[in-house]
Structure 1
Amino acid sequence: MYPDDETLARAAASGDRAAFGLLVARVYDRVYGYAVRLTGNPAEAEDLAQDLCAALPGKLRSFRGEAKLSTWLYRIAVNAARDRFRRQATRARAAAGWGDWEEARQAANAEEAARRDWLAEAMACLNDDLRETLALVLDGVSHAEAGAVLGVSEGTISWRISEAKKRLRAVRDADAAGESR
């Protein structure tokens, strides 16, 4: 019915519900997959992806088509994730000192994090720039597109990927040697 995502986005921004439904069906798995790699938590990724899709009708009105829709969506996802991480940090600071309940909650969260797969744990060791960059590239985004999403040059993306690989190798080697991270 609609040949490409950009055409769907324009139709959805004009109020075409069928176009919006088809657009969400096309992009949801990519947005969710990126969110999983970024957060390392499928439940949190689901919340993030659903929040993004819920906000999408209003945001589509600002889509100008200057970049690919996927690049534009990744940029929105990066911003939404950053906002979510800031809110979580604020809540964690506010919750500090709540006594035994907070300690038990934090212990339960630590146990859950310990059960995540190796890559999610290793990616958590990376700084925000490296983790965001690696999650985009693992999602199949080219270095040029990742640069556009994150607002940096393609060369910076290549350096970040190289640096992330180096740090992941160090984590792998430390795990193999039984060393702590």
Structure 2
Amino acid sequence: MDTQANDEDLAELAAAGNAGAFRCLLERHYDRVYRLAFRLTGLREDAEDLAQDICASLPKRLQSFRGQAKFTTWLYRVVLNAARDMHRRKASANRASDGFEELARLESDARDDAEDQTAWLYDALDRIGGDLRETAILVLAEDRTHAEAAEILSVKESTVSWRMSKLKEKLKSIAKADA
């Protein structure tokens, strides 16, 4: 490959599939791409990733080079646009990450609240004890209907309904006392 060829001619040849022209362009401009990427991102790792991504996609991108501007001007635009895209992806990922962290915190708080409420309820049921406790566990924890609980407890369904009503009164009383 003629190393004296200008960038625009090399870009045209590289766009047509000439590997030597492409290699020559990379050798001439990789440092420029990396340097601008570093200045735009501020991080070595991001600049390296960006430069590698640009170089990997450059053969396809060269199809859009029309020679209306200098090759270096066009290349600066490619790097600038790629850095903007990277910034948008990172900002979007950060927003998603922040959202996931907030969701995880809310779920954790909800679990903690539910665990606290469950612990309080079981403590209150232990204080109430007896038939009301058994009825509550069957109806509330085991999700049995009043008829099913009555059959299990060998009582009338109306007795289960009365116990649940009495349970609500006692739980309200305990809640007021605990507050």
Corresponding residue for residue 22 of structure 2 = 20
Measure the CA separation in 2 of the matches of 1:76 and 1:97: 31
* Matched residues, number: 101
Determine which structure has greater relative contact order: mean sequence separation of CA pairs < 8 Å that are 6+ residues apart, divided by chain length: 1
Kindly provide the amino acid, as one letter, of the partner of residue 95 in structure 2.
R
Measure the CA separation in 2 of the matches of 1:66 and 1:75: 13
Q: Deviation per CA, 1:43-80: give whole Å up to 9, x if none.
A: 10010011111110011111111100000000111111
Corresponding residue for residue 89 of structure 1 = 91
Quote how far apart the aligned CAs of 1:97 are.
4.7
82, 85, 88: which one pairs with 1:80?
A: 82
Consecutive unaligned residues of structure 2, counting only runs of 5 or more, are 105-179
Kindly provide the amino acid, as one letter, of the partner of residue 62 in structure 2.
L
Quote how far apart the aligned CAs of 1:25 are.
1.0
- The answer to whether structure 1 residue 59 and structure 2 residue 61 are counterparts is yes
2:64 is paired with a residue whose SS is coil
Measure the CA separation in 2 of the matches of 1:18 and 1:97: 48
- The answer to whether structure 1 residue 35 and structure 2 residue 37 are counterparts is yes
Measure the CA separation in 1 of the matches of 2:99 and 2:33: 35
Corresponding residue for residue 150 of structure 1 = none
Measure the CA separation in 2 of the matches of 1:99 and 1:81: 26
Quote how far apart the aligned CAs of 1:20 are.
0.5
Quote how far apart the aligned CAs of 1:99 are.
4.5
Structure 1 consecutive aligned stretches of length 4 or more whose deviation exceeds 2 Å: 97-100
Q: Aligned in 2, Cα 1:15/1:94: closer, same or farther, shift over 3 Å?
A: same
Kindly provide the amino acid, as one letter, of the partner of residue 26 in structure 2.
V
Measure the CA separation in 2 of the matches of 1:27 and 1:56: 12
Corresponding residue for residue 174 of structure 2 = none
Quote how far apart the aligned CAs of 1:96 are.
0.8
- The answer to whether structure 1 residue 50 and structure 2 residue 52 are counterparts is yes
Q: Deviation per CA, 1:151-175: give whole Å up to 9, x if none.
A: xxxxxxxxxxxxxxxxxxxxxxxxx
1:96 is paired with a residue whose SS is helix
Measure the CA separation in 2 of the matches of 1:28 and 1:56: 11
Q: Which has a greater percent of helix?
A: 2
Measure the CA separation in 2 of the matches of 1:52 and 1:99: 32
Measure the CA separation in 2 of the matches of 1:99 and 1:10: 49
TM-score with structure 1 setting the length: 0.53
Q: Deviation per CA, 1:113-145: give whole Å up to 9, x if none.
A: xxxxxxxxxxxxxxxxxxxxxxxxxxxxxxxxx
Quote how far apart the aligned CAs of 1:98 are.
4.5
Kindly provide the amino acid, as one letter, of the partner of residue 75 in structure 1.
R
The percentage of aligned residue pairs carrying the same residue is 54
Measure the CA separation in 2 of the matches of 1:38 and 1:16: 30
Q: Deviation per CA, 1:86-123: give whole Å up to 9, x if none.
A: 000010011015449x9xxxxxxxxxxxxxxxxxxxxx
